[in-house]
Amino acid sequence: MPTTTETKIVRSVCPFDCPDACSLHVTMQDGVIESIDGNPEHPVTQGAICNKVRHLRERVYHPDRILHPMRRIGPKGTLEFERITWDEAYEEIIRRMRDTLAEKGPESILPYSFYGNMGILNAEGMDRRFFHRLGASQLERTICNAAGSAGYRYTMGAAAGIDPEDTVHSKYVLVWGCNIVSTNMHQVVYLTEARKRGAKIVHIDVHRNRTSAWADEFIGILPGTDTALALGMMHVLIKEGLTDPEFIARYTKGYEELVAQAELYPPDKVSQITGIPADAITQLARDYGNASPSFIRIGNGLQHHDNGGMAVRAIACLPALTGQWGKLGGGALKGNGYYSAVNSYKLERPDLMPDRNVRSINMNRLGEALLDSEPSVDFMFVYNSNPAVVAPDQNRVRQGLMREDLFTVVHDLFLTDSCQYADLVLPATSHFENRDLYASYWHLYLQLHEPILEPMGECKSNFTLFKELGMRMGFEAEIFDITEEQMIRQALDRNSPYLNGLTYEQLERDGWAKMKLDKPSMFPDRIPTPSGKIEFYSEAMRRAGLPPVPEYVPIQEPEELPFLLVTGPNHSFINSTFGNQDRLKRLEKQPTADMNAEDAAARGLQHGDRVRIWNERGECRIAVKVANNVLPGVLVTQGLWWEHGNEGVQAVNSLTSQRLSDMGGGATFFSTRVDMEKIE
């Protein structure tokens, strides 16, 4: 029996790619994590966290964690590795990098990363410096919110909205293409309070899901038609005089052009496009136009389409039409990254690039980059991402990863599907083992994370990995041989009214700090568009070859195949993270495709039948869930499942396309056409 035990509660931050960026209270017993809870003192977290992270202990101490570097000894596509030392790993990486540099030049080296860990140093810090200094191909990190952010910026000028804490004051709320019960639980907390104070909450989605069940009203829409709905609402708002002429005159540009455009979208026409009854469209516009303050939570779902940028741009016009900006609880929120932006120049050091015109590769076109780019990608460094599962057109991606002449390094905590193609696998620390700085893309707090565990086995953080690689490459010591604390100080060194002189000491003392925002949002006082107004008409869009006024452009997939497939994330994983966690897998049971009962009857399908869903890119075998959760002609799956370790599971991205969205180079995951047939 242990004689003395020490229990203490320490502070941490949730590192995952989730808007809530929760503050955690971790109960430690003799240096080991006992349990994880939400920090009751954090103003947004308020003691509540999701089920995934409450069980994060199981991930951190998981028996499958990679604890030392490994080298491939079997063929690509299998998981046969031998243990090697860090010295051997570093020597091999440097030798292969130098060979590639000498034979092909730096553009043949490609980093591939995203936000498996949102920590600023580990996601966009030392790694960026290292690849900039090498002169490697640039990666356009467009897989998540690129289209919608570009669209929103065309209208509003910046990735900023209202403080989510103020949404308790909203009286009418549209949750639009956002599954907040699963993906943004503290927005649900605020809106539940708003509802207690009299607000009505409407969910607009292609899928009747957990958020629809919680909302007061659900509007089911056909995928990729939201621009038409927004224009239909504008039509009614303008026709019925539900706009705010004073706000429009003072703060917007291009109202006349917008009026002419909205004229073309009467409810009956919009009904045919969107699948929403015409009177429901009229009612929605009236409810929105008559309520104030009203709030729109714009999600990432509706922008994973060919026309996703335009959809967000069009929706972002609505609060300006009814004059919501500036009112407490009025406006919209797509993302708030603008307020908490740190000094990315000092952090990432783009000035280290030997050639500023180095090519850049869009991460959504990884398959093409690996299979037909010139110069070829011969060295790929994967970290904070699982491209074999999350990238579109997965068969092409995996075909590229199989190339014998491609050298691939994967740095991760687990042997993901991507590791199957790695020549070297490197062990990553969990965020509990690192010092880092965390921002949210939704709330307004920056948080400092201090390590609460020693690195496990031989694990290294991304920061340490790229720092040590830089030093071994003989790169400038003052840039690479620094501590996490020094780098955080560099990141905070930014003249921003929102950071407002925030110091490392302040974060060290309090754990977090709120960005300074004296008004409900920066709008309408500061509108950083080219005209300084909210732009219903955008000259920048016209110059970019885009329709300057919101306009509905259908998705691009050829219409031969009868179903539109939306492959969203699920409740219990975060993208593909947690896809190897038994408890969470059990909760999700198995991947399924929701299907309309009418479609099922026409095809002779019953609930639970297995089908083969296919298109020209690939196929996926999955069970159907027959219900009226989707409109006829629509299929919805949830979850980015791993293939290895999940008998019979096929990843949905074999069906999705590398096509890019209308703006921002975004992904078009949800604009996928498929057919299906029953299998025995």
Ligand X SMILES: Nc1nc2c(c(=O)[nH]1)N[C@H]1C(S)=C(S)[C@@H](COP(=O)(O)OP(=O)(O)OC[C@H]3O[C@@H](n4cnc5c(=O)[nH]c(N)nc54)[C@H](O)[C@@H]3O)O[C@H]1N2
Q: Are 235 and 196 in contact (CB under 8 A)?
A: no
Amino acid at 57: R
When binding is defined by CB under 6 A, the residue of 26, 33, 44, 50 that contacts ligand SF4 is 50
CA distance 589 to 327: 44
Handedness of CA 94, 96, 101, 102 (dihedral sign): positive
CA distance 352 to 499: 26
Scan residues 136-175 and list those touching ligand X (CB under 6 A). 143-144
Contacting residues for 433 by C-beta, under 8 A, at least 6 apart: 451, 453, 454, 455, 456, 459, 461
Partner that binds at residue 265, options Mo ion, ligand SF4, ligand X, none, CB closer than 5 to 8 Å by kind:
none
Partner that binds at residue 182, options ligand X, ligand SF4, Mo ion, none, CB closer than 5 to 8 Å by kind:
ligand X
By the rule CB under 6 A, 38 interacts with ligand X: no
Scan residues 249-278 and list those touching ligand SF4 (CB under 6 A). none
Q: How far is the CB of 547 from ligand X (least distance, A)?
A: 18
Task: Single out the segment in contact with ligand SF4 by CB under 6 A; choices: 2-10, 46-54, 520-528, 648-656.
Answer: 46-54
Partner that binds at residue 638, options ligand SF4, ligand X, Mo ion, none, CB closer than 5 to 8 Å by kind:
none
Helix runs in 240-329, H state only: 245-251, 255-263, 267-274, 278-290, 308-321
Helix runs in 556-629, H state only: 582-588, 597-602
CA distance 591 to 570: 10
When binding is defined by CB under 6 A, the residue of 33, 302, 318, 321 that contacts ligand X is 302
By the rule CB under 6 A, 204 interacts with ligand X: yes
Cβ distance to ligand SF4 smaller for residue 187 or 274: 187
Scan residues 113-152 and list those touching Mo ion (CB under 5 A). 144
Beta-bridge partner residues of 9: 27
Cβ distance to Mo ion smaller for residue 304 or 349: 304
What is the 3-class SS of 462-491, one letter each residue?
HHHHHHHHHHHCCCCHHHHCCCHHHHHHHH
When binding is defined by CB under 6 A, the residue of 169, 235, 305, 435 that contacts ligand X is 305
By the rule CB under 6 A, 296 interacts with ligand SF4: no
When binding is defined by CB under 6 A, the residue of 60, 110, 173, 574 that contacts ligand X is 574
Describe the crossing of helices 267-274 and 278-290 by its angle, rounded to 10 degrees: 110
Scan residues 501-560 and list those touching ligand X (CB under 6 A). none
CA distance 448 to 435: 8
Residue 306 phi/psi, 5° resolution?
Answer: -50, -40
When binding is defined by CB under 6 A, the residue of 11, 14, 330, 389 that contacts ligand SF4 is 14
Radius of gyration of the chain, Cα coordinates, nearest whole angstrom? 25
Scan residues 531-550 and list those touching ligand SF4 (CB under 6 A). none
Q: Which of 428, 432, 447 is nearest to 32 (CA)?
A: 432
Scan residues 213-242 and list those touching ligand X (CB under 6 A). 221, 223-224, 226
CA distance 539 to 549: 9
How crowded is residue 324: how many other Cβ atoms within 10 Å of its Cβ?
A: 29
Q: How far is the CB of 122 from ligand X (least distance, A)?
A: 5
Q: How far is the CB of 366 from Mo ion (least distance, A)?
A: 16
CA distance 203 to 617: 32
Q: Are 516 and 339 in contact (CB under 8 A)?
A: no
By the rule CB under 6 A, 20 interacts with ligand SF4: yes
By the rule CB under 6 A, 299 interacts with ligand X: yes
When binding is defined by CB under 6 A, the residue of 26, 33, 44, 53 that contacts ligand SF4 is 53
Contacting residues for 566 by C-beta, under 8 A, at least 6 apart: 206, 207, 223, 301, 634, 635, 636, 637, 670, 672
Q: Are 145 and 335 in contact (CB under 8 A)?
A: yes
Reading the block at residue 186, the tokens are 């503290």
Q: How far is the CB of 284 from ligand X (least distance, A)?
A: 12
Cβ distance to ligand X smaller for residue 273 or 652: 652
Task: Single out the segment in contact with ligand SF4 by CB under 6 A; choices: 47-55, 224-232, 362-370, 655-663.
Answer: 47-55
By the rule CB under 6 A, 21 interacts with ligand SF4: yes
By the rule CB under 6 A, 207 interacts with ligand X: yes
By the rule CB under 6 A, 568 interacts with ligand X: yes
Cβ distance to ligand SF4 smaller for residue 52 or 398: 52
Q: How far is the CB of 395 from ligand X (least distance, A)?
A: 13
| DSSP SS3 for 509 | helix
Q: Strands 172-176 and 81-83: what pairing?
A: unpaired
By the rule CB under 5 A, 574 interacts with Mo ion: no
Partner that binds at residue 630, options ligand SF4, Mo ion, ligand X, none, CB closer than 5 to 8 Å by kind:
none
When binding is defined by CB under 6 A, the residue of 11, 25, 42, 52 that contacts ligand SF4 is 52
Amino acid at 305: H
Q: Which of 36, 61, 60 is nearest to 49 (CA)?
A: 36
Reading the block at residue 155, the tokens are 């209208």
Cβ distance to Mo ion smaller for residue 144 or 499: 144
- Rounded to the nearest 10 degrees, how much is the dihedral formed by the CA atoms of 112, 644, 576, 431? -70
| DSSP SS3 for 504 | helix
When binding is defined by CB under 6 A, the residue of 185, 204, 377, 667 that contacts ligand SF4 is 185
Q: How far is the CB of 56 from ligand SF4 (least distance, A)?
A: 8
Scan residues 451-470 and list those touching ligand X (CB under 6 A). 462
Provide the binding-site residues for Mo ion, judged by CB under 5 A.
144
Provide the binding-site residues for ligand X, judged by CB under 6 A.
17-18, 114-117, 122, 143-144, 176-179, 182-183, 204-207, 209, 221, 223-224, 226, 299-302, 305, 383-386, 390, 411-414, 416, 428, 462, 566-569, 571, 573-577, 636, 640, 652-653, 656, 669-670
Provide the binding-site residues for ligand SF4, judged by CB under 6 A.
14, 16, 18, 20-22, 49-50, 52-53, 185
